[in-house]
Structure 1
């Protein structure tokens, strides 16, 4: 009986470090975004007319790869009845994350965390949350004693945050401004 009582607490304890570190990432990005004086410029926009279209299209690429992530994860968990190689999940995730880096860097360094427009506030908070939950997921990934729900929940939260980021940026851009490159 003692072993049964200890197992859940040990597995939940294994989530403590990923969640704390992920929370610190959220907090650090938010504090930096508010404390840092925005520069208005952060990265070159090679191939794009301006920074905003660059961010919109890179975020759209990450959005598409996030859908690949969900489909390949469902396949890995045996929910689709088809087999998609695990490498598809790993590489689509890596590429999606890489596409978000210049976007996040530009947002934080050039614009900072803004709160004067509700859409922009939601976007800023979702961006901080995305990197925090992504960090927690990556730190929980190699742990064998985490509860079985950990990766689907953390992955689902990262997916939801990325969809929210796309809706508050790219979708807004496409509907308000158009399909500029």
Structure 2
């Protein structure tokens, strides 16, 4: 991978996604807030979000975007087909117990294009910089926008579509197959 090609790709991606360069945690947190993100307590949701795509030792902050018009408006056609309310069964926030009602509600909202959740990791050697991020929910535009802003190819590619050509090229430049997941 050549530095010149990476710079060229990120410059094109930042213009395409209309995002600034944001490599530090405060810069990315500020960018998330421009989309209406609010911070959540990481420790409260750690059991639900720390999976094979998140390095628990580096996870430093958790954000959520609760904005159905934004998320539905930017959803890909595939996300719109696969993420929708189950019209057969009514939603029960206590389905997994009252102690899980909040997370069950958040999960339902992610499944219905109402909410996205974002975890940020610090870089292993530069703790003020973003090292990785994970987006939960149908928000491919958000994954790709965060990649363009940070230059970090996420471990979880999400659900890219035919319009994700810049994002796919980033995986290749990072030594991975296009859109290949890289669990820990």
- Asked if TM exceeds 0.5, the reply is no
- Give me the TM-score of the superposition, normalised by structure 2: 0.28
Q: TM-score, normalised by structure 1?
A: 0.28
Whose strand fraction is larger, Structure 1's or Structure 2's? 2
